[in-house]
Amino acid sequence: MKQYDIAAYIWPAYTGDELRTRMFWPEGYGEWQSVKSATAKFEGHTWPRKPLWGYVNEADPAVMEMEINEAKRHGVNVFIYDWYWYDGRPFLENCLNDGFLKAKNCSDMKFYIMWANHDANNVWNKEISDTEACNTVIWKGGCDADEFRTLSRRVCDRYFGLDNYYKIDGCPVWMIYELSTFVKGLGGAEQAAAALDEFRDYVKSKGFPGVHIQFTGRKKDVPNLSGVDGERMTTKFEELAEKLRIDSFTHYQFVHYLNIDRDYVDITKDAKAFRDRIDETIKIPYFAHVSCGWDNNPRFKNFRHGIVKNNTPENFEAALRDAKEYADAHPENPPLITINSWNEWTETSYLQPDDLYGYGYLEAIKRVFVDEVEKGE
């Protein structure tokens, strides 16, 4: 029976255990504060919503034990943890360290890390997210060579050697969220390539065959669908990917490369067309991505444009079948599919059950990647 690796991103902010989070969510239970205060912004808006599991602390190992069981039961067998490094130290790392890794059944679930190296501003602080202060940068996401050496070695030393760390051909997979921010922080492509080569050597010195460097595609880094400036963008990306020796890429969210202010069915048609174009233009492996939706109004008091419509579990299931078809058509690559996300509640793109669709999204994954695979369909 073929095994698919269904990897769901985790936004590790649903805990108040780290004190630095109190500057955004002072009530002390993380971004659940924004979820609980979300209201409908127009007639027919599907907020407020409530999590069926409650406003749980995901830095609690007992909570994560339950979530691992539910994820595995429905076919999600990999978690991709958003991992942050700000002001010379990790941020929101305790959700992974204290919750997931201390869960009794943590060995049942693979995981890997995405370095979420974007700037941090006040968008997480709902009280001022609608003001000019929203765009004020609190922490820079980029870093120089010395700091990159420190943070990357921390990831290697703490996580790569764990039995349940996700690997491809024996190489731990490590994802970089913003390739352009990474390159800029290092001072240019040559310096970024040298930093990655040093990291590769360090990982090899720890007994691994290497490290699998993955990155998240965005409009400015990969070809667009419309073809406008497509040749220039493709050339730029291929040259940079070759120079940095990137091993693969995927996406984090449909919103990063597609127009999402429309019907979900139309969005997923364009996602499929994007994958077809990737095969024609980009040589490095691409792993198909599916997002549940997008609506970040819970982070704001005022209405924010850009909402995915009609993203029902049934339409999500059809998108999963498209992604499965792409994975099956590329047997030379691991059957990895990324999902946004396990718990991005304030962006309205989550698999966790709520009072609107229940377990609908999780059941869709189970039908496509568990039930039908067992039947040989």
Contact 51, 9 (CB under 8 A): no
pLDDT of residue 229: 34
Region 105-131: what's the mean pLDDT? 96
153-163 burial, b if ≥16 CB within 10 A, otherwise e? eebbebbbeee
Instruction: Tell me the pLDDT tens digit for each residue of 54-98.
Output: 999 999 999 999 999 999 999 999 999 999 999 999 999 999 999
Kindly report, residue by residue over 257-305, the tens digit of the pLDDT: 999 999 999 999 999 999 998 888 888 999 999 999 999 999 999 999 9
Domains parsed from the chain with CATH numbers: 5-375 (3.20.20.80)
Residue 377's pLDDT is 65
Which pLDDT score is estimated for 228? 31
Write down the pLDDT at residue 221: 52
Which pLDDT value is given to residue 142? 95
> What percent of the chain has pLDDT above 70?
95
What confidence tier does 239 reach under pLDDT thresholds 50, 70, 90? confident
Mean of pLDDT values over 333-360: 98
Determine the pLDDT at residue 279: 83
Output the average pLDDT for the chain.
93
C-alpha to C-alpha distance for 196 and 213, rounded to whole angstroms: 9
Q: Does residue 223 or residue 41 have the better pLDDT?
A: 41
* pLDDT the model gives residue 78: 98
Which whole number is the average pLDDT over 194-212?
98
The pTM of this model reads 0.95
What are the percentages of helix, strand and coil residues in the chain, rounded to 5? 40, 15, 45
Sign of the alpha-carbon dihedral angle for 69, 73, 74, 77: positive
